[in-house]
Amino acid sequence: MALKEKTDADLKLYYSISEVAEMFGLSESLLRFWEKEFPNISPKKGGRGIRQYTKEDIEEVRTVNHLVKERGMTLEGARQAMKRNKAGTNQQIEIIERLKAVRDELQAISKEFNSLT
């Protein structure tokens, strides 16, 4: 098995609020709101109050985004789900993301195949 190469994204320690918002297609104001509603989302604030999100903060945002935006839960429902079974929720998110990647790959293969015929 080949060693996975480290990309710039793997080496980055902190992400700005605009980068995180772009990752999930969210507004910066929604991220700031979720920080107030979910204490696990707690980016560091540098000098001048600029938010610095860690990979752990981004995982928390991913979980909240999945529960609220994709599954349609209320904020209270999302808080309860995270409290009850965060590991299970994170595992579901990972499975869904893998399945989406497989679907995208299959669609690309199908498109390539159709262009040959």
Share of the chain above pLDDT 70, in %: 87
pLDDT of residue 99: 86
pLDDT of residue 83: 83
Q: What is the pTM of this model?
A: 0.67
pLDDT of residue 3: 43
4 phi and psi angles, rounded to 5 deg: -75, 130
**At 18, is the pLDDT very low, low, confident or very high (cuts 50, 70, 90)?**
very high
Provide the sign of the torsion angle of the four alpha carbons 85, 41, 57, 65, taken in this order: positive
Residues 15, 106: Cα–Cα separation, whole Å: 31
* pLDDT mean over 1-10: 46
Residues in the chain, total: 117
pLDDT of residue 86: 67
| 28 C-beta neighbours (distance < 10 Å), count | 14
Q: What number does CATH give the domain 8-116?
A: 1.10.1660.10
pLDDT, one tens digit per residue, over 82-97 is 888 766 776 777 788 8
Lowest mean pLDDT among 12-26, 29-43, 84-98, 99-113: 84-98
Residue type, 71: R
pLDDT, one tens digit per residue, over 42-66 is 999 888 888 999 999 998 999 999 8
Report the C-alpha dihedral over residues 10, 11, 16, 17, rounded to 10 degrees: 20
